């Protein structure tokens, strides 16, 4: 009897070991399945704040300088304008006499020759505040400087590093800047990405539009004309140097109220202020079509929100030219054609 008991014990131990091994395999398979199901999704590529475009491999969207906004003259006297081809985004605003000035935004690229650099307006507070930008300017009227300072907007003017007078041009259209030197002055050792300037999306996010291959933004004494050609919007009366034009993927027209800024220019013209807060109508031109909608900004420093009756309106990632056109009654108008 003792012999048969000793024989049975090892057999039982072998069976138990096989059972436990099988359970271990099941547990391992279960753990492996859990690990697979819980694997983190791949990270979305980092995008540039002023275009919504993904950064290339090795590029960082966090820079040790803020968004730089250069105020550039937009008249025949400014030709040829330099630097617009490397801007991320451009805002065209009304100034005195029904003419316009450009606020050119630079962040992903910082060119060495930008200009002609001209003065700030109170309108710039609502234009640059949403991304905590620094303004590059020739100066401003004291009343405007006081308001810019109260809004805590940094700015660099003539006499700052990078500014120079270009030979062969006459004042005040000969002031230019090496923007890389201005950027170096703003560095504080902290890399940070600004907020998105517009609600970025894709073409698939757009509602159905209506054909619009040409458009004209009339500011009173200046009209900016656009045509959709080769997948881009071409400024047909640009003052930019050949090969240095802004390549717009979209044109965003925002209708704004215009008020008297409270002073006149040397010629006696009242200085207008575009009220870039509150709400108004919007037209997004993209892909040869236009989508009608509205814009809103709770306050001057708020981000721009866009919508249609169907919901939020997102701008396809790319380079955008923003037209701040006065509403009807302020000598502004917009026309488009097929």
**Rounded to a whole number, what is the distance in angstroms from the first to the last CA of the chain?**
104
Q: Contact, 166 vs 117, CB < 8 A?
A: no
User: What's the pLDDT at 330?
Assistant: 73
Please count the residues of the chain.
338
**Top CATH class, 68-186:** alpha beta
Is-above-0.75 flag for pTM?
yes
Looking at residue 7, its pLDDT comes to 39
pLDDT for 331: 82
Q: Per-residue DSSP letters for 182-194?
A: HHHHH--S--BPP
pLDDT at position 264: 85
Map out the domains of the chain as residue ranges: 68-186, 200-259+273-337
Cα(288)–Cα(285) distance, integer angstroms: 7
Q: Which of 146, 92, 169, 111 is nearest to 326 (CA)?
A: 92
pLDDT per residue as tens, the chain (338 positions): 333 333 343 444 334 344 444 444 554 444 444 555 565 655 667 999 999 999 998 899 999 999 999 999 999 999 999 999 999 999 999 999 899 999 999 999 999 999 999 999 999 999 999 999 999 999 999 999 999 999 999 999 999 999 999 999 999 999 999 999 999 999 999 999 999 999 999 999 999 999 999 999 999 999 999 999 999 999 999 999 999 999 999 999 999 999 989 888 877 888 999 999 999 999 999 999 999 999 999 999 999 999 999 999 999 999 999 999 999 777 899 999 98
| Start-end of H helices in the chain | 2-37, 124-128, 142-150, 179-186
Give 306's strand partners: 295
- The answer to whether domain 68-186 and domain 200-259+273-337 are alike in fold is yes
Task: Return the bridge partners of 279, or none.
Answer: 296
**Closest by Cα among 105, 61, 66, 67 to 86:** 105
Helix (H, G, I), strand (E, B) or coil at 85: helix
CA 276/CA 298 separation, integer angstroms: 10
Architecture of domain 200-259+273-337: 3-Layer(bba) Sandwich (3.50)
The answer to whether 332 and 324 have CB atoms below 8 angstroms apart is no
Q: Give the gyration radius of the chain's Cα atoms.
A: 29
Nearest C-alpha neighbor of 122 from the set 151, 102, 79, 100: 151
pLDDT (0 to 100) of residue 9: 37
pLDDT of 228: 98
CB 173 within 8 A of CB 116: yes
DSSP for residue 74: -
Give the Cα separation of 232 and 319 in Å (integer). Answer: 10
Question: How many Å separate Cα 251 from the centre of its chain?
Answer: 12
Q: Which element (helix H / strand E) includes 156?
A: strand 155-156
- Angle 245-199-137 from CA coordinates, rounded to 5°: 45
């Amino acid at each position: 009897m003792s012999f048969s008991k000793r024989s049975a014990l090892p057999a039982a131990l072998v069976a138990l070991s096989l059972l436990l091994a099988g359970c271990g395999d099941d547990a391992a398979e279960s753990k492996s399945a859990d690990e697979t199901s819980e694997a983190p999704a791949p990270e979305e590529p980092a995008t540039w704040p002023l275009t919504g475009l993904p950064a290339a491999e090795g590029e960082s969207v966090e820079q040790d300088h803020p968004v730089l906004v250069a105020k550039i003259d937009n008249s025949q006297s400014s030709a040829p304008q330099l630097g617009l081809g490397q801007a991320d985004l451009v805002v065209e605003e009304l100034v005195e006499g029904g003419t316009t000035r450009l606020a050119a935004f630079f962040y992903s690229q910082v060119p060495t020759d930008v200009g002609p650099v001209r003065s700030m307006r109170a309108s710039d507070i609502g234009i640059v505040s949403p991304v905590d930008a620094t303004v590059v300017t020739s100066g401003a009227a004291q009343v405007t400087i006081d308001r810019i300072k109260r809004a805590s907007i940094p700015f660099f003017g003539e006499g700052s590093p990078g500014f120079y007078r270009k030979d062969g041009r006459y004042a005040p259209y000969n002031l230019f800047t090496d923007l890389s030197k201005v950027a170096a002055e703003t560095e504080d050792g902290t890399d940070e990405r600004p907020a998105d300037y517009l609600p970025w999306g894709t073409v698939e996010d757009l509602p159905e539009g209506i054909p619009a291959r040409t458009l004209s933004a009339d500011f009173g004494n200046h009209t900016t004309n656009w045509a959709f050609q080769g997948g881009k919007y071409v400024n047909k009366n640009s003052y930019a140097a050949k090969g240095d034009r802004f390549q717009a993927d979209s044109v965003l027209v925002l209708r704004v109220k215009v008020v008297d800024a409270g002073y006149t220019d040397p010629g006696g013209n009242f200085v207008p202020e575009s009220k870039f807060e509150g709400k108004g109508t919007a037209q997004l031109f993209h892909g040869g079509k236009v989508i009608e909608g509205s814009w809103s900004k709770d306050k001057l420093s708020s981000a721009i929100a866009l919508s249609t009756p169907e919901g939020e309106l997102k701008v396809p990632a790319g380079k955008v030219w923003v037209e701040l056109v006065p509403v009807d009654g302020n000598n502004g108008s917009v026309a488009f054609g097929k």
